[in-house]
Structure 1
Amino acid sequence: MQFIKAHAARLYAVAVSAIALVAFYVPDLPDELVLGLVAAVLGVGEAVQRTEDGKTAEAFAKAPNA
């Protein structure tokens, strides 16, 4: 779980790229499936953004005042 938290943005990028490639190279997929995956990806993107924001806030809190 620590690996996922540490590399959330990278894992998200790989997953989104894989979904895009599958949607492009498998044209027989139903539109509903592709749109459902897009909605799920947007939701996961929000979670990744919150994780990254938390890491940034934690780093700022630990940084000495400059």
Structure 2
Amino acid sequence: MSNFIHDHSTRLYAVVAAALPLVAFYVDGLPTGLILALAAATLGTGEVVQRIEDNKTVKALLQEPPGITEG
């Protein structure tokens, strides 16, 4: 499960970020403090997702490119 979350962190973040305003709009009676706390948590999670993606990019840049065969 951890590998799935790591491999698809950007997609999972996008789903959560898209669902948050919908829940806030359609669910009546949610406290404003809860909505603001969830928004702040979403922003913090975005930073973590960005760092994961940056690490994947760095690893990919450090790998040798696959050999090109002439045919």
Q: Same fold (TM over 0.5)?
A: yes
Cross-structure match for 1:57: 58
Does 1:15 find its partner at 2:16?
A: yes
Q: Normalising to structure 2: TM-score of the pair?
A: 0.84
Which runs of no fewer than 5 residues in structure 1 stay unpaired?
A: none
How far the C-alpha of 1:26 sits from its partner, in A, is 1.5
Opposite residue 46 of structure 1, the aligned amino acid is E
Larger radius of gyration: 2
- Indicate the structure with greater helix content: 1
Aligned residues: 64
Question: Higher relative contact order by CA 8 Å / sep ≥ 6: 1 or 2?
Answer: 1
% identical aligned pairs: 55
Task: Provide the aligned C-alpha RMSD in A.
Answer: 1.0
With over 3 angstroms needed to count, the CA separation of the structure-2 counterparts of 1:28 and 1:61, relative to structure 1, is: same
Q: Normalising to structure 1: TM-score of the pair?
A: 0.90
Opposite residue 33 of structure 2, the aligned amino acid is E
Would you identify which runs of 4 or more consecutive aligned residues in structure 1 move more than 4 Å? Answer: none
